[in-house]
Amino acid sequence: MSWFFASSKGSGPLPALNSLQQQRQRQIESLKAAHPSLAEIQKDVEYRIPFTVNNSTISVNILLPPQFPQEKPVVSVYPPVGHHLIDSNNGTMITSPLITNFGMHSDLGKVIQSLLDEFWKSPPVLMSTGPAGFPYMYKPSGIPPYPSQAFHYGSRHVGPSQTPPPGSGPAPSHPAVDIAHELPRAPAPYGLITELPLPVPTGDSEVGLNGHIYKMPEIPESFPELCDKTLTQLSDMSENEDVLLEFFVSLPQLKQVTSDKEELVNSILEMAKKNLHMEPQLEGKRQEMLYKYEQLMQMKSAFETKMQRQHELSESCSLSTLQARLKVAAHQAEEESEETAENFLEGRIDIDEFLTSFMEKRTLCHSRRAKEEKLQQSINTHEEDNTEGALCAGNMSRQLGDSHRRFLQTMMAIGITNEQEAKALYQHCCEAHKAPCVTDKLDEFIEAINSRLQPMFMQIRKGMSEENGLQYYALVNMAETDITRMTSDYAENELELFRKTIDLIVSSENGKASSTDILNSTDTMTSKKMKKSETEHLLTRLVQDKWLCERRGDYTLSTRCIIEMEPYIRTMFQDQVKVCHICHNIAFQCQICENPSCGIKIHNPCVARYFKGRVEPRCPACEDFWPHEIPEVRRLHSQSKK
């Protein structure tokens, strides 16, 4: 009976594979090598790969048509999902170009791996409705189903191209059997054999999707039940398929398979009931996890808020900030005393009031200046101790050479430069004076210059441009207040207008001041009034000197102004100035969170870097959706100096 089961033991040698079958086997071997979790549903026909994404298990079903690889494979998924590679009508058929363009020279293993990689990058979304279950063999509409592995009940006679099994004698003659014609096959209504939902065994056991190993019953080379039957009964069985099917169903091997199937179904039902029983516990754990995650986000937000507040307080109480406040207060007392003297000279107040007010304000001015100088001495002493300690440790980079002097002279001429130009200038100065040049030691090179500039109340500071996010270096003056340092170049009324311009920019929501508002502010000046032409000339001059930037009639603080005037701005506008949530520098050109309880500010360049690559931007403080347009990260290799 080896003719009955083609793959059973004792069958004759298999015919050699043709070229198409060899290519089919190579494609299947490539698929198995690329995916160790591959499950064989039907040998050389249907395979399945489970994968988990976003806590959901999705199965990829691969059906190989008869003429594969000349014909394209049919690849589908279950349960139905939504994805740009999957047909939106049914949610199961994969319509990727990798499948539609599949050819003889394609690699099935690599194609399926590319699909899985795309699913990992862009996870599919489960559909709310779909088929009740995954069909054992997927048969999409519009595509002819793959022919089932039906057992053909042909004649036992051996054709001319076949070799009879060893030990077989001549076929007995029978009047009802025509040797020239093949016996009819089982008709379609008998779905028991043709649609049997069990793959033909290829080994001792089959591994399921969940790792369960089922051992198929042994198929004997001969069936003892047939030995007791007469030739007439065997002929009737061969001609009448109802008798054949009745005998086939009564085989103990098939009864064992049916019994095993019922046991497996019962065990699956029992396991499903246990899982449903554990569902409330799992849901409780999930809710507990979500609650703890929400607490974590609240604690994170509170921590970041306190860190920001701590940073602001430490900045407001630093030695440099206290010194800047003393400078501003001393300058204000001096201006008030000068105003009192002018009023006395113009006869607005008598001599007694003048002496009382003038002496009081002058005393206050000198007292504040004395405190500021004493604080400056303490700062210098502290920095000198640090400098001497570094020199004693052998840091030779702090000793100024001709390259340092050339770098400083250039900075005094240009005032401000971006980081790339500063590195090029550093390399040029070192090459011109044959000094060692290390590209990543620019900050140490500038620090050596600053250590010698400290007694002259000057410093090269580093800051970020709010326009493009690039780093800039600027030479700043720290001798007087951040406004009076411009006295040698600007008149008193010009300085007052500059202060009013800063006030307009800081008070605005977008960090800008229009030329109209600046012109109108001249009406409230306490010093000498300025004409419209004089105001426009001053604004042009401030732009040329790199204190302001102008674009379409709106003025903003330049990078140089922000770097040099930051202590003054933090002191005079401490209730209005906001800092960037990302870099913690003062922010003017920025985006603001629209959540009323949040309202953090982030520089435009910081927004571009923070949200780069994020699918859904959310506020880093309150986790609300960030509604503003995300600018692109600008990587400019040359920028005009600010």
Q: 93, 90, 64: which is closest to 76 by C-alpha?
A: 93
Name the band, by pLDDT with cuts 50, 70 and 90, for residue 479: low
| 40 Cβ contact partners less than 8 Å away, ≥ 6 residues apart | 46, 47, 199, 202, 206
Q: How far apart are CA 381 and CA 120, in angstroms?
A: 60
Token reading at 410: 């250039």
Report, as an integer, the average pLDDT of 565-578.
80
Q: How far apart are CA 346 and CA 356, in angstroms?
A: 17
Name the band, by pLDDT with cuts 50, 70 and 90, for residue 211: low
Q: How far apart are CA 418 and CA 641, in angstroms?
A: 7
Q: First CA to last CA across the chain, in angstroms?
A: 94
Report, as an integer, the average pLDDT of 391-419.
75
What is the structure's pLDDT at 637? Answer: 38
Q: Is the pLDDT of residue 481 over 60?
A: no
Q: Determine whether 263 is exposed, middle or buried from the number of CB atoms within 10 Å of its CB (0-12, 13-18, 19+).
A: exposed
48-60: per-residue pLDDT in tens?
Answer: 998 887 777 888 9
57 in Cβ contact with 126 (< 8 Å): no
Report, as an integer, the average pLDDT of 81-110.
84
Length of the chain: 642
What is the structure's pLDDT at 357? Answer: 85
What is the structure's pLDDT at 79? Answer: 84
Q: Is the pLDDT of residue 371 over 60?
A: yes
Name the band, by pLDDT with cuts 50, 70 and 90, for residue 271: very high
3-state secondary structure of 79: coil
Which contiguous run of DSSP H or E holds residue 214?
strand 213-215
Mean pLDDT taken over the chain: 76
Of all residues in the chain, the percent with pLDDT exceeding 90 is 8
The label of the residue with tokens 């140490």 reads: 444
Residue 549 β-bridge partners: 556
527-552: per-residue pLDDT in tens?
Answer: 888 888 888 888 998 998 888 998 88
Q: Is the pLDDT of residue 377 over 70?
A: yes
Tell me the pairing of strands 205-207 and 213-215. Answer: antiparallel
Which contiguous run of DSSP H or E holds residue 593?
none
Residue 325 φ/ψ, nearest 5 degrees: -65, -40
What is the structure's pLDDT at 254? Answer: 82
Token reading at 274: 């246990």
* DSSP character string of 263-279: HHHHHHHHHHHHHHHHH
407-465: per-residue pLDDT in tens?
Answer: 988 888 888 898 889 999 988 999 888 888 887 888 888 888 888 888 777 889 888 88
Name the band, by pLDDT with cuts 50, 70 and 90, for residue 201: very low
What is the structure's pLDDT at 266? Answer: 92
Report, as an integer, the average pLDDT of 558-571.
83
Selected residue with higher pLDDT from 170 and 94: 94
To the nearest 10 degrees (0 to 180), the angle between helices 108-121 and 19-34 is: 30
Name the band, by pLDDT with cuts 50, 70 and 90, for residue 488: low
Name the band, by pLDDT with cuts 50, 70 and 90, for residue 342: confident
Q: Is the pLDDT of residue 472 over 70?
A: yes
277-333: per-residue pLDDT in tens?
Answer: 999 999 999 999 999 999 999 999 999 988 888 888 877 777 777 878 888 888 888
What is the structure's pLDDT at 400? Answer: 76
Give the count of alpha carbons within 13 A of 512, CB side only.
14
Tell me the pairing of strands 458-464 and 81-82. Answer: unpaired
Report, as an integer, the average pLDDT of 336-364.
84
Report, as an integer, the average pLDDT of 104-131.
81
Q: How far apart are CA 207 and CA 50, in angstroms?
A: 13
Best mean pLDDT range from 226-235, 552-561, 570-579: 552-561
What is the structure's pLDDT at 385? Answer: 62
Token reading at 108: 């099935």
144-196: per-residue pLDDT in tens?
Answer: 444 443 333 333 333 333 444 444 444 443 333 333 333 344 333 333 333 33
